[in-house]
Amino acid sequence: MEPPKIHIALVGKEWDQVLMRSILKRSIDELIFAFDPNTPQSVHELLEGLSQFGIHATVVQFSNYNFESMLSSILEVINCRNLDGHQVEFNVSFANPMMTIVACMAAEIMHANIIYRPDEASDMVAEIRPAKLSNLTKRKKEILGYLARQPKEVLQKEITKELDIPRSGVSRQLQDLEQAGYVERIRTNRLKTVRITPLGASVIHGKMLRQRRVWASGSRSEKGYPSEHIGIKPSGTIFGDRHFPSRSEIGG
């Protein structure tokens, strides 16, 4: 049984019937409708249409087009509710740029999902999970690092063996990484294989570079060198079987 769902739709630009259909398809239990008073269309038409399907919204009107103020308004409305066992999602299909940034931050804080419209010519919506993307624990980094060093996909049980992690723990970590788009799991008969995605490889590579910069900066600073001039040697990096080019190689 799915948990009760709170759907928060942010509207800051001209909308069409796709917005109503996307809300109706989500099988929501509660709707929070946040909008900019300068939205070119009246939101009352949308709310009246939804009410015909038994969906009544809590309305939030942004009075100040300011990031902190907008984020505070959204969080205050959410915090007034008992969220135990609830799933929260933000719909930014018709949000303006500032609203989208606010929704991403609020979703990160609330561990919520974000619904968006990847193609304006389509009724389809896609879903991302900011909290899953950013919550890279030490264990998840170990798994990503191990997968990035492999020339091809590996059996899931090999991760358990090589990293000395219980099988249940590996399964749970891989589920989070898969939801974030960092790994892909392939099930063939009874075997489960795992491979890192280009996004996962880029993220773990970026984190390793940042750690190396911090380490290099700290080491050189101790010797009296100005840290702002410290950087990574400008050459391509080999990461597993993947080559990440330097700026000079890509013309940057």
Instruction: Name the residue type at position 78.
Output: I
Write out pLDDT tens, residues 218-235. 544 444 444 333 333 333
Q: Which residue has the higher pLDDT, 175 or 224?
A: 175
Angle between helices 43-51 and 17-25 (to 10 degrees): 40
DSSP label at 123? S
Q: Report the run of H or E that residue 165 belongs to, with start and end.
A: none
Topology given in CATH for the domain delimited by 136-252: Arc Repressor Mutant, subunit A (1.10.10)
- What is 5-129's CATH number, 1.20.120.350, 3.40.50.10770, 3.40.640.10, 3.30.360.10? 3.40.50.10770
Which has more confidence, 175 or 128?
Answer: 175
State the Cα–Cα distance between residues 204 and 249, nearest whole angstrom.
Answer: 21
Q: What 3-state DSSP class applies to 57? A: strand
Give the domain ranges of the chain: 5-129, 136-252
pLDDT at 69 over 90: no
What is the distance between the alpha carbons of residues 125 and 91, in angstroms, rounded to a whole number?
Answer: 9
Burial classification of residue 37, based on how many CB atoms lie within 10 Å of its CB (0-12 exposed, 13-18 middle, 19 or more buried): exposed
Beta strand 87-94 with 5-11 is: parallel
Average pLDDT, stretch 185-207? 85
CATH topology match: 5-129 vs 136-252: no
Higher per-residue confidence, 166 vs 14: 166
State pLDDT tens for residues 117-166. Answer: 877 766 677 777 766 666 788 898 899 999 999 999 999 999 999 999 88
113 DSSP 8-state letter: E
- Whether 140 and 170 have beta carbons less than 8 Å apart is answered as no
Chain center to CA of 241: 27
pTM, whole model, 2 decimals? 0.61
CA 25 to chain centre: 21
Q: Which of 210, 188, 186, 206 is closest to 196 using CA atoms?
A: 186
